[in-house]
């Protein structure tokens, strides 16, 4: 493999898309000593730009650990903190998630899961706390904390990564035209760029990719609001009661998020806004102002696992997608796994390998 900075020759990995997937993967390749080139069109749909960036290692419905949380959380800290040092900025903030209990049954379930000799879930604080003021009118009677949760400032991470990548390699800000890609056994050529391999990280726009549009995705549109309030007392921790209120600083709070599977676009809707405001107003009765309303599409897969690996026919075509609702947690671990698998020529985990969908491949596709 070559170790070029600005790509004056053959690039190791050309990456299409610089959302969370493309960003984390590009940095992981660079750390492993590979050269990369990026093609990303800033005006196209990107859920990373509007993601709340929360990581939560707990599934609230059953109070179980979320899938692979024990492995994903350490890798998350390692990855973002090491790039914070390189880029000399802050990307992540560890925060508790405040889980409110409205019923006795919920409280007992939490205690059962978090206490005892060998608690089922060590991300759950084993105590119940009382009387937390959320604003002047709302006192949270019973609550507890999820530990080792937090948030990534996703838009800041994308921006800083873009600048860093521009200093290291070619970054083309244009729409990738799949028809222009030329494939040969040992390289790919796109306009003036020649690479050994290409990785597609296009989020839900995978649907427009003729090489991978057979992957069974189940994208979910989501909406969030940002509000300004001088009355909400949350400073750092994230409030959760079937929706979240996340403090952003300077009296700003992110409220989210909705799920919708039928209309898949980035257009904020009145229904989405009403749904979020209804939930917010059930807690906050003090005045606030809506600052912004955003929408995006989560690239989820039918089995809700990432989808990564090598194309069944073309050995220099790769996919890194399917980060769904949990890009912040999943991307560092699985980018490393994809890079390690390429380095050591071993398959990625069965659960995430795109090969699990090989029967969906039309066979006649490009």
Ligand X SMILES: Cc1cc2nc3c(=O)[nH]c(=O)nc-3n(C[C@H](O)[C@H](O)[C@H](O)COP(=O)(O)OP(=O)(O)OC[C@H]3O[C@@H](n4cnc5c(N)ncnc54)[C@H](O)[C@@H]3O)c2cc1C
Measured from each CB, the residue nearest to ligand X is 19
**Which of residues 58, 201, 238, 339 is near ligand X by CB under 6 A?**
201
Site membership for ligand X, residue 326 (CB under 6 A): yes
User: Going by C-beta distance under 8 Å and a sequence separation of 6 or more, which residues neighbour residue 76?
Assistant: 55, 92, 328, 329, 332, 333
Rg of the chain, C-alpha, whole Å = 22
- Report the residue from 199, 327, 338, 354 that binds ligand X according to the rule CB under 6 A: 327
Rule CB under 6 A: say whether 26 interacts with ligand X: no
Of residues 12, 40, 75, 170, which one binds ligand X by CB under 6 A? Answer: 40
Which of residues 4, 10, 41, 233 is near ligand X by CB under 6 A?
41
Among 102, 150, 138, which residue's Cα sits nearest to residue 247?
A: 150
Binding to ligand X (CB under 6 A): which residues in 118-157?
none
Q: Which residue has the tokens 């949990």?
A: 326
Smallest gap, in angstroms, from Cβ of residue 355 to ligand X? 19
Is residue 29 within 8 A of residue 13, CB to CB? The reply is yes
Q: Is 39 in the site for ligand X (CB under 6 A)?
A: yes
Among 7, 35, 47, 316, binds ligand X (CB under 6 A): 47
DSSP string, 17-57: --SHHHHHHHHHHHHTT--EEEE--TTS--SGGG---EE--
DSSP string, 56-81: --EETTTTEEPTTHHHHHHHHHHHHH
List the structure tokens of 115.
């206490």
Name the one range near ligand X by CB under 6 A: 18-26, 62-70, 121-129, 184-192: 18-26
Measured distance CA(123)–CA(65) in Å, rounded: 8
Vertex 40 angle, CA 35 and 43, to 5°: 165
- Binding residue count for ligand X, defined by CB under 6 A: 43
Q: Does 66 bind ligand X (CB under 6 A)?
A: no
The single residue among 7, 14, 19, 63 that binds ligand X, judged by CB under 6 A, is: 19
> First CA to last CA across the chain, in angstroms?
26
Q: Residues 11, 14, 15, 18: which binds ligand X (CB under 6 A)?
A: 18
Q: Binding of ligand X at residue 46 (CB under 6 A)?
A: yes
Q: Is 51 in the site for ligand X (CB under 6 A)?
A: yes
CB of 321 to ligand X, least distance (A): 6
Q: Scan residues 164-183 and list those touching ligand X (CB under 6 A).
A: 175-176
CA distance to 113, 167, 258, per residue, from 307 (Å):
31, 29, 23
Nearer to ligand X, 144 or 224 (CB): 224
CB-based burial label for 48 (10 Å; 0-12, 13-18, 19+) = buried
Structure tokens at 95: 């925060």
User: Residue for token digits 């937390």?
Assistant: 132
Choices 13-21, 60-68, 96-104, 116-124 (CB under 6 A): range interacting with ligand X: 13-21
Does residue 20 belong to the site contacting ligand X (CB under 6 A)? yes
- Beta-strand relationship, 129-135 and 92-100: unpaired
Stretch that binds ligand X, among 102-110, 132-140, 197-205, 232-240 (CB under 6 A): 197-205
- 296 is a site residue for ligand X (CB under 6 A): yes
Phi and psi of 125, rounded to 5°? -65, 130
Interface map 239-258 toward ligand X (x if CB under 6 A)? -----------------xx-
User: What's the min distance (Å) between Cβ of 292 and ligand X?
Assistant: 12
Residue nearer to ligand X on the CB measure, 34 or 320 = 320
Under the rule (CB under 6 A), what is the footprint of ligand X? 16-22, 39-41, 44-48, 50-55, 175-176, 201-203, 205, 222-224, 256-257, 296, 298-299, 321, 323-329
């Amino acid at each position: 493999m070559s170790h070029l900075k600005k790509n004056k020759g053959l690039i190791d990995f050309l990456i299409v898309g610089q959302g969370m997937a493309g960003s984390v993967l590009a940095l992981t390749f660079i750390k492993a000593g590979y050269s990369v080139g990026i093609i990303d069109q800033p005006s196209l749909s990107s859920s990373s730009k509007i993601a709340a960036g929360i990581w939560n290692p707990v599934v609230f419905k059953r109070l179980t650990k979320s899938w692979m949380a024990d492995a994903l959380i350490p890798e998350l800290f390692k990855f973002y903190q090491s790039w914070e040092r390189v880029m000399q900025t802050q990307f992540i903030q560890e925060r508790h998630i405040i889980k409110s209990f409205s019923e006795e049954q919920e409280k007992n379930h939490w205690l059962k899961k978090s206490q005892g000799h060998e608690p089922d879930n060590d991300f759950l604080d084993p105590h119940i706390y009382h009387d937390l003021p959320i604003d002047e009118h709302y006192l949270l009677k019973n609550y507890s904390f999820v530990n080792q949760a937090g948030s990534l400032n996703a838009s800041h991470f994308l921006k800083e990564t873009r600048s860093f990548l521009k200093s290291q390699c070619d970054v083309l800000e244009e729409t990738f035209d799949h028809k222009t890609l030329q494939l040969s056994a040992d390289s790919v050529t796109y306009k003036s760029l020649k690479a050994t391999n290409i990785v597609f990280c296009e989020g839900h726009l995978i649907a427009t990719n003729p090489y991978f549009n057979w992957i069974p995705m189940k994208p979910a549109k989501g909406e969030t609001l940002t509000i300004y309030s001088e009355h909400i007392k949350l400073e750092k921790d994230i409030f959760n009661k079937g929706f979240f209120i996340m403090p952003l600083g300077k009296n700003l709070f992110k409220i989210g998020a909705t799920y919708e599977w039928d209309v898949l676009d980035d257009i904020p809707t009145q229904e989405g806004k009403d749904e979020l405001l209804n939930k917010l107003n059930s807690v906050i009765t003090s005045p606030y102002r809506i600052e912004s309303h955003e929408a995006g599409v989560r690239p989820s897969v039918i089995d809700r696992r990432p989808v990564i690996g090598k194309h069944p026919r073309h050995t220099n075509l790769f996919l890194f997608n399917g980060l769904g609702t949990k890009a912040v947690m999943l991307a560092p671990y699985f980018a490393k796994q994809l890079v390690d698998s390429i380095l050591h020529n071993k398959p990625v985990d069965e659960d995430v390998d795109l090969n699990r969908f090989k029967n969906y491949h039309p066979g006649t596709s490009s």
